[in-house]
Amino acid sequence: MGRHGVLALALVACGLTGCKETFECAADSHCQLDGVAGFCESLGHCSFPDEDCETGRRFGDLAGTLSNMCVPPGDAVTSGEVASTGDGSASGSTTVPDPTTATASGSSSTGSDDASSSGSAQPTDCNILFEDTFEGNMLGETWSVLGEPPTVSSGALRFTIEPENVGAYPSASVLSGTPLNLSDGWVTVRLDAVPQLLRTQGTITLDFGEPEAMALYEAGGMSAMYDSERLEDTATTAPWIRIALESSPEGTDIAYYESEDADAWTEVARLSGIPADPTSVRVSVRAGAYQDFAIPQEFAIRSLSVCGRNGL
């Protein structure tokens, strides 16, 4: 059998991040690589034995955002069938854990959160320019929407990604798309649900005009993106994400942090000396799908805050 099994099921996907080849399996028998039998994991991608991984299995290189990453503990399946919900259909979205110690927003009023030992210090002299915890049942007037409007319910901003709307990427922009000075500032988001299928995506986007930076969520994982290039992929999703623009000897660094409690932050990715203007940045939330899929997905956030230098 050919690479990763049935190549007739391979896809060439062109979403927000450019084109990539993916393969979706339905049973262990679909996963073969150079004569080595693999496993069809719960997200519909093949993994193969790898003793360097805690679970002893690593996703193949046709697994989209999970390619070549270790299968996390608890996600490895033990049978040849893709994991499903009780009614026999694949789960549409996974609720992100809600830690009991989490605060209502991702930052204090002075932006003084510190990163964990694995990240650099967070900026301490920016102003909170925007904050929304999505109370009530409608989006505030400080947002502008392009495309099908998201809904606000149960304390979250919710994008529903429908199979009949492939190719549409509705967005909601902070402060009606006003450019913000985010020099030594950040955008912090508390997540509620992320898409669990390949080809369905949700993003937190910082638009410099050209290029864009984003935290992209697809197939249950997160990709730190800059100018359509992946800086780092994670197979799981932390409840909090922060994208920071930090001064450095190279000019401006863009850094991506994750947190379980909005207190200790771990750096996921960093790109130094980005060729972009941090004083004019538009912030938006987007969701959509770039190829056919069967089950509606959801991308939802519980809070979004922006800390910058406007007014300083």
**Pick among 2.40.128.110, 2.60.120.200, 3.40.50.150, 3.40.50.720: CATH of 93-308:** 2.60.120.200
Judge contact between 172 and 187, C-beta under 8 A: no
Q: Show the CA angle centred on residue 297, arms to residues 30 and 132, nearest 5°.
A: 140
Give the pLDDT confidence score for residue 74 in this predicted structure.
61
What pLDDT score was predicted for residue 94?
43
pLDDT for position 92: 42
Separation of alpha carbons 119 and 131, rounded Å: 24
For the record, the structure tokens of 174 come out as 């902070």
User: Within its chain, how far is the Cα of 304 from the centroid?
Assistant: 14
Q: Which two structure tokens, joined as six digits, stand for 308?
A: 């910058």
Question: Which residues partner with 242 through β-bridges?
Answer: 188, 257
Gap between the Cα atoms of 146 and 154, Å rounded: 22
Which one, of 224, 194, 215, lies nearest residue 300 by Cα? 194
Q: Is the link from the previous residue into 97 a cis peptide, with omega within 30 of 0?
A: no
Q: How far apart are CA 190 and CA 193, in angstroms?
A: 10
CA separation for the pair 198, 14 (Å, rounded): 11
What is the model's pLDDT at position 68? Answer: 85
pLDDT value of residue 82: 35
Please tell me the distance from the alpha carbon of residue 242 to that of residue 232, in angstroms, as a whole number. Answer: 14
At 243, the amino acid letter reads I
For residue 9, which phi and psi values (nearest 5 degrees)? -95, 0
Neighbouring CB atoms inside 10 A of 209's CB total: 11
Angle, vertex CA 152, rays to CA 83 and CA 128, nearest 5: 110
Q: What pLDDT sits at residue 117?
A: 38
Please check whether residue 211 is in contact with residue 113, taking contact to mean a CB–CB distance below 8 angstroms: no
pLDDT for 119-157, tens place per residue?
443 545 689 999 999 999 999 999 999 999 999 999 999
The residues near 21 (Cβ < 8 Å, ≥ 6 apart) are 10, 11, 12, 13, 62
pLDDT per position as a tens digit, 48-98:
999 998 889 998 888 877 788 888 876 555 433 333 333 333 334 444 544
Do 187 and 302 meet the contact criterion of CB atoms below 8 Å apart?
A: no
Q: How far apart are CA 48 and CA 61, in angstroms?
A: 10
Sketch the domain layout of the chain as residue ranges. 7-66, 93-308
- The pLDDT, as a whole number, for residue 213 is 97
**pLDDT computed for residue 28 by the predictor:** 81
So what's the pLDDT on residue 103? 31
Listed in order, strand segments (DSSP E) in 84-138 are 93-95, 127-132
In the chain, which residues have pLDDT < 70? Answer: 1-21, 74-125, 311-312
